[in-house]
Structure 1
Amino acid sequence: MKCIVGLGNPGKRYKDTRHNVGFMAIDELIRRNHWELDKSKFNGNYTVEHIGNEKVILLQPQTFMNLSGESIKPLMNYYNIDVEDVLVIYDDLDLPAGKIRLRQKGGHGGHNGIRSTIDHLGTKEFKRIRIGVGRPVKPIPVVDYVLGNFSEEEQADIAISIKNSADACEMWLKKPFLEVMNEYNS
């Protein structure tokens, strides 16, 4: 069993913000496979589905970004999911809008959702898809920027990165993550 987690903030206010690209990637997987997040437990909304022979859980923590690990760890414990079978999708200021970067492990890079995940899992060794949201052009606080909506110019690029992230997730359910990294990081 594999678990794909999209990080974001719950509620309509945050729906289309930069910080919610992880939720958007999960929404894309849900849409294209005609699924729904039909379970609510572990401070998250999730579904248990199959793609080919692989059983997969898609999770959107409802704890708010900074407490994401409080949802991920209990779900992993309940379903007995190993950390090597977890993939976390989240926003990254250091990548331009429209770019994605896959990693097998790493630090939090100042991202509080990843910091919480590392703290609760007790390891930095989990798979990630970083979706670029770029840095603000105007001098505004980072918090205001990531909780803001995409500009019209960014929307097409973000749509591509969401599609590519969902494609990478589906590929990971069939192939080793290293192959997926080689495909999408090139």
Structure 2
Amino acid sequence: MKLIVGLGNPGKKYDETRHNIGFRVIDELSKSFNIPLNQEKFKGVFGFDTINGEKVFLLKPLTYMNLSGESVRPLMDFYKIDIEDVVVVYDDLDLPPGKIRLRQKGGHGGHNGIKSLLAHLGTENFKRIRVGVGRPEAGVAVANYVLSTFRPDERQEMEEAVSQASKACESWLSKDFLNVMNSFN
């Protein structure tokens, strides 16, 4: 079994924000795999299907970003999904808009959603796909920045980043994550 988690915040007002890039990747995968996100449980919305003989889950935690682990851990426990079979997609301030970076493990880098996952999963050994959203200009609070929408000049590169992150997830379903990293980093 494999679990792909996209981090974000629930609600229409957050749909197009920088912080919801993980949700956008899950939505893209839902369409391309034809897996409806029609189950609400474990403080999240998810769907699953069998792809290449393996059950694949797509999850959007509905806990708000800072409590993401409260959704991921119970789903993993219920379905007995190993930490090695989890990848988390989320926004990253340290990457320029549109750039993606894959990692096999790591710290939280100041990201509150990842802090919550580290606390609830008890390990930093989970795969990540970081999607760059850039840094705010001087004087703009980080919280306000990540809850803002993309500027018109950033939208095309962000659509490409969502597509690339989705393709990386899809590639991971049939390849070792190290090979996927080598292809997409």
TM-score normalised over the length of structure 1: 0.98
Equivalent in the alignment of 2:3: 3
Equivalent in the alignment of 1:88: 88
1:62 paired with 2:62, answer yes
Q: How does 1:99-178 map to 2 (within 5 A)?
A: 99-178=99-178
Task: Tell me the CA shift for residue 75 of structure 1.
Answer: 0.2
Equivalent in the alignment of 1:23: 23
d(CA) in 2 for partners of 1:16, 1:55: 29
Structure 1: 5+ residue stretches without partners: none
- What SS does structure 2 have at the residue aligned with 1:163? helix
Identity %: 58
Which segments of structure 1 move beyond 2 Å, counting only runs of 4 or more?
none
Q: Give, as a single letter, the amino acid of the residue that structure 1 aligns with 2:80.
A: N
d(CA) in 2 for partners of 1:50, 1:149: 34
Instruction: Report the aligned-residue RMSD.
Output: 0.7
Residue deviations 1:9-65, cap 9 Å, x none? Answer: 000010000000000000000112222101100000000112222211000000000
1:51 paired with 2:44, answer no
d(CA) in 1 for partners of 2:64, 2:22: 12
- What SS does structure 2 have at the residue aligned with 1:94? coil
TM-score normalised over the length of structure 2: 0.98
Aligned residue pairs: how many?
185
Residue deviations 1:55-113, cap 9 Å, x none? Answer: 11000000000000000000000000000100000000000011000000000000000
1:77 paired with 2:80, answer no
Structure 2: 5+ residue stretches without partners: none
d(CA) in 2 for partners of 1:77, 1:34: 25
